[in-house]
Amino acid sequence: MKSIVTISELQNIEAVAMKYIVQNLGCNIRPLKALSEKDGSLRVPLQAIVPRQVTKRDHETKVFIYNLEDIGSLHYRKTENKFNLISSITAKDIEIEISNRFKILTESIEKEILIEGKANWGKLSWIKTFLSPLYTIVINLASTSKPISIDSLRTADIWKYAKLLINEHYAQIDSERPNQIIPTNKLTMASEEYYKSNKHIHNLAEEIVGGVFANNYFEIKKEFHINSPTAYVDTTKVYYIDALRYGENIPIHEKNLFYEYLKIGDRSFRSEVNLMQFRTLLSELEFVKLLEKQGSYVSGNPKFFKNLMVYRDNILEGSVQAPKGVTF
C-alpha cells in the first residue's frame, strides 16, 4: 500500500544551496543572492552568522553575533530545470576562513599578549622543552663566554636557533674567527647582573628565551614548525578575547575557555583527558601571572586587562550584541 505526499518546494538556486549547506557545510552558514559569472555559471556567495557567547560565574551571559560576508562560494550551472553543483568550498575550508577572520580581529591583542609575557614565556614547560636548544646556547655563551663553533651548531641542527640569538643581539659572529659565535656585550652584561644579584644563570636563560619567543613568535611557529608552545599564547588569548568582548575582567569557566581554545587552532586536544592538559596550561599561566584562577574559574591579570581594553572595539568589529536573555 502506498500513500503519496505531495509537497511544493522552492526552486530558486539559493534554496537549492541551502539544502547543500545544511547537509555538507554547517548550519551557521547561509546562502546570499546568486551572481552570474562570465562563463555562464552561477556563484552563490556564503555568509557565516557566528554567535560568540561569554558567560561569567553568575551565569550572566552576553552574546555577540558576527556577520561574516563572502566566506566562500558554491558554483552551479543551470541545465534545463536543474541546478548542477560544479564546485563548492569544503566545511574545513570554511572553518579555516572564519578562523582567519577572527584572527585578523585579534591580531593586535596577540601582539600585546606576547609583549606582556616576555619575561615569563621562558619559564613555561613546553617552551623549555621545544626551544631547549636556545637555552643550551644561551647558558653556554653566558656562563663560559667561550665561542661556539658554527659547524657544531649546524651538525646538531640548531644553527637556526643561534641565528635567532644573533638577531636579538645576544650572540654575534666572531669577526676574527667567522666560523664561531661569541656572546655580545648585551649578553655579557646581563649575565654579570645576574651573578651580582645571586640569581641562577638558568633564570637569565629563561628571560632571554622568553624575549626571543615573543619577538620571533610567528617565525618559530611557521618556519620552525614548533606549535606546542603556541598553546600558552592561544590560551591566554581566548580568555582575554572573551573578557574584552564582555567588557569586564570576569571569571570564566575553564571548560568554556577550553572549547574556545579548540576552535582557534588545529588542536589535537579532543577529550576530557586533554581538558586536564588544558588545566595544566592554565596553572602554568597562573604561575607566571598572565591569568588568575579560582577553582574552575579563570580571570585575567587586572592590570593587563586594563591595558588591553583599548582593543575592545577591534574585537567587536562586525558584530551585534544580542538583547539580554538571548543565549546559544
Query: Which residues would be at the binding site for another protein (CB under 8 A)?
Result: 1-11, 14-31, 48-51, 65, 67, 81-85, 91, 94-95, 98-99, 102, 259, 262-263, 320, 322-323, 326-328
CB of 69 to another protein, least distance (A): 12
| Shortest CB 15 distance to another protein, Å | 4
Q: C-alpha grid cell for residue 290?
A: 598572565
Least CB distance from residue 81 to another protein, whole Å? Answer: 7
> Whose CA is closest to 240, among 153, 199, 301?
301
Angle made by CA atoms 308, 309, 315, in degrees to the nearest 5: 90
Q: How far is the CB of 196 from another protein (least distance, A)?
A: 50
Q: Which is nearer to another protein, 103 or 146 (CB)?
A: 103
d(CA 106, CA 117): 17
Q: Enter the C-alpha cell of residue 302.
A: 587586572
The amino acid at 146 = K
Least distance from another protein to the Cβ atom of residue 44, Å? 11
The answer to whether 241 and 309 are in contact (CB under 8 A) is: no
Closer to another protein by Cβ: residue 104 or 115? 104
Distance CA 244, CA 21 (A): 32
In whole angstroms, give the CA distance from residue 222 to residue 194.
33
Q: Which is nearer to another protein, 103 or 200 (CB)?
A: 103
Our CB check for another protein shows the closer of 20 and 305 to be 20
What phi, psi does 197 have (nearest 5°)?
-90, 15
Q: Closest CB to another protein among 40 and 323?
A: 323
